[in-house]
Amino acid sequence: MSGNPYAASRVVLQAKWFAIAKVGVAIVSLLTQFVLVRHLSVDHYASYTIFVAGTAVLVFVTMFGMDRVIYRFMPPLREHLRWREAAALMGAMLGARLLLMATLLAILALASWHLLPSQLVAQLQEIKMQTALYAIAQACTDSLLIFCNSVGQQRTQAAFFMVAGAVRLACVFGIMLHGSLTALDVARVFSYTELAQATGMALVLALELRHMRRQREGPSGRTPWAFGFTWRELCHDALGTQAAYLLSLPFKGALLKLIVGAVATPVMVAAFGFFQTLSDRAYMFMPVFLLKGILEPALARDYAVRQNAERVRMTVTLLIRVNYSIVFLGIAILLGAGQPLIDWITHDRYGSQVILAALIALQITGLTLGESLFFVLNPVGRIGPHNKLWMRMALPFLGVLALAAWSRNTYLLVLAATLPYFAVYLWLRRVSREPILQHGLGLNSGMWLRLAGATAAAALAGRVLLLLPPSHALTLAAALFTALVFVAALRVTGLFHAAEVTSIQGVSPRLAKLIRPFSVA
């Protein structure tokens, strides 16, 4: 097998184990959430929600567009074994991120009562040290994850995340066996396990760089430094992407939790936090997330070799369709069997908020489209117009979001957070006339009608089954029956076609294999 991490055989192998490990991470994370929602009091779960959301916002704010920059510039350095340049690039990006993180934490430590709503500050008062530690550790692990993906270590970093999640869950269980569980206990477990994970991933990267060095340095000795890009170019892409990220931040789950935490009651904060956390974890199962560190570099490489933008567009089109099928499957289950299922999971706490849960699931369609635009534009070098458009369009949608927050209507907040992604896509396609989007990304009426029809039929089937005498077994059976009806309906309506699957086989064999069982001739 080729030693090149970007060779087709290596990409397929990495994708297989990477996906398995990512699914393991998501399962462990979901189990952890189920344990916490059942064993933390409402007030402590609200504090935990703010703890996780606040650190996620800090990690996101300090990102510097790192993922897009690294995925674009690191593979050539790895392929040509330029270990010094790779180490310098990683060190510069991580150092800048940690410096900004330390600055933000210092500002919050000195002036949080003046900068943030008092309700948020009060929720974190007892766990402020753990919050700072967790934010720093998460900034490290998030950066190291991107670095590992870019040098062909996707499988290893995903395994680290799975092990860290399992240890975290075991620690929570251990605390529960010795007494009651509090938000402080959870914050300590999360921060310490995150630090241990960062240490392990740093060691993996050190070993990878040493391996590159040994391969590179032969009898001829060292070679001159050569990055293959200018630092001005890197900074332009990084800052432009980060600006787009920051402007989209209010429309993402982490900041939405903080907004809800500032305007809603503790019960609503806890309910929204639980559903939004489940949505975030469910997103980890999505192909657009599972394949992010593999498919985007593969698309860039395919376009560089073939100069065929249509192959890129078709691959992303099918990727969106798969993601939307999963989202609407979740919505069908929520509408068909959601209330008794949620009450069972949460110990009769949040089942009455099933419509909120369905809206939060629907929000994933916007997130998927936003990520997919990066997938389709970045490989062909057209990310700049997208970033500039976000800068222009963010303000009116932030106004809509502010009005929804002012009305204290959580449902409107979720809907307002979903709209910008579709607006940006439609503007790029219809107004800016972006070349690669002229044939669209498959978001036509036929797709929406097929998904809506399958969702309605499946939800109705689940509702009918729940007319029988209630029990936990019946609730589970209704959820499974709803899922089966949904999948069968999609198969019958022909959402995927065999010719489309064949067209992307050379770009992403793993995605083609995922879709093929559901395609029709």
Residues 332 and 404 in one domain: yes
Per the DSSP assignment, residues forming a β-bridge with 519 are 496
Residue type, 320: I
248's tokens:
């989209």
What sign results for the dihedral spanned by CA atoms 28, 30, 34, 37? positive
Residues 92 and 241 in one domain: yes
pTM of the model: 0.71
Residues 205 and 287 in one domain: no
Residues 274 and 363 in one domain: yes
Residues 6+ apart with CB under 8 A from 192: none
Residues 282 and 244 in one domain: no
Residues 206 and 281 in one domain: no
Q: Distance (Å, rounded) from C-alpha 37 to C-alpha 291?
A: 29
Burial of 210 (0-12, 13-18, 19+ CB in 10 A): exposed
Residues 6+ apart with CB under 8 A from 125: none
Q: Coil, strand, or helix at residue 468?
A: coil
Residues 491 and 438 in one domain: yes
Q: How many CB atoms are located within 10 Å of the residue 339 CB?
A: 19
Sites in the chain below the pLDDT cut of 50: 1-2, 219-220
Q: Distance (Å, rounded) from C-alpha 509 to C-alpha 54?
A: 38
Residues 439 and 370 in one domain: yes
User: Do 507 and 311 form a contact (C-beta atoms < 8 A)?
Assistant: yes
DSSP conformation class of 516? G
Q: Distance (Å, rounded) from C-alpha 261 to C-alpha 475?
A: 31
pLDDT of residue 1: 41
| 258 domain residue, yes or no | no
- The Cβ-side half-sphere exposure at 387, using a 13 Å CA radius, reads 18
Would you put residue 229 in left (φ > 0), alpha (ψ -120 to 50) or beta?
Answer: beta
* DSSP calls for 207-241: HHHHHHHHHH--TT-------SS-HHHHHHHHHHH
Q: Coil, strand, or helix at residue 488?
A: helix
User: Do 317 and 442 form a contact (C-beta atoms < 8 A)?
Assistant: yes
pLDDT of residue 2: 46
pLDDT of residue 515: 73
| 223 domain residue, yes or no | no
CA separation, residue 42 to residues 176, 268, 366 (Å): 16, 10, 29
| 325 domain residue, yes or no | yes
Q: Distance (Å, rounded) from C-alpha 363 to C-alpha 290?
A: 18
395's tokens:
């303000």
Closest CA to 388 of 433, 432, 440: 432
Q: Distance (Å, rounded) from C-alpha 165 to C-alpha 57?
A: 20
Residues 350 and 452 in one domain: yes
Pairing between strand 496-497 and 519-520?
Answer: parallel
Helix ranges (DSSP H) in 116-230: 118-124, 128-150, 154-177, 183-216
Range of the domain at 469: 268-520
| 263 domain residue, yes or no | no
Angle in degrees, CA 64, 65, 69, rounded to 5: 120
Residues 6+ apart with CB under 8 A from 165: 24, 25, 28, 29, 32
Domains: count for the chain: 2
Residues 6+ apart with CB under 8 A from 348: none
Q: Distance (Å, rounded) from C-alpha 79 to C-alpha 508?
A: 20
| 477 domain residue, yes or no | yes
358's tokens:
């369905």
| 33 domain residue, yes or no | yes
Closest CA to 51 of 115, 142, 113, 128: 128
Residues 309 and 208 in one domain: no
Closest CA to 86 of 194, 216, 195: 216
Cα dihedral angle (159, 165, 167, 171), rounded to 10 degrees?
180
| 220 domain residue, yes or no | no
Residues 273 and 238 in one domain: no
DSSP conformation class of 417? H
Residues 6+ apart with CB under 8 A from 408: 263, 264
The total number of residues shown for the chain amounts to 521
DSSP conformation class of 436? G
Residues 47 and 126 in one domain: yes
Closest CA to 287 of 514, 60, 11: 514
Buried b (16+ CB within 10 A) or exposed e, 213-246: beeeeeeeeeeeeebebeeeebeebbebbbbbbb
E-strand stretches of 359-504: 496-497
| 69 domain residue, yes or no | yes
Residue type, 271: A
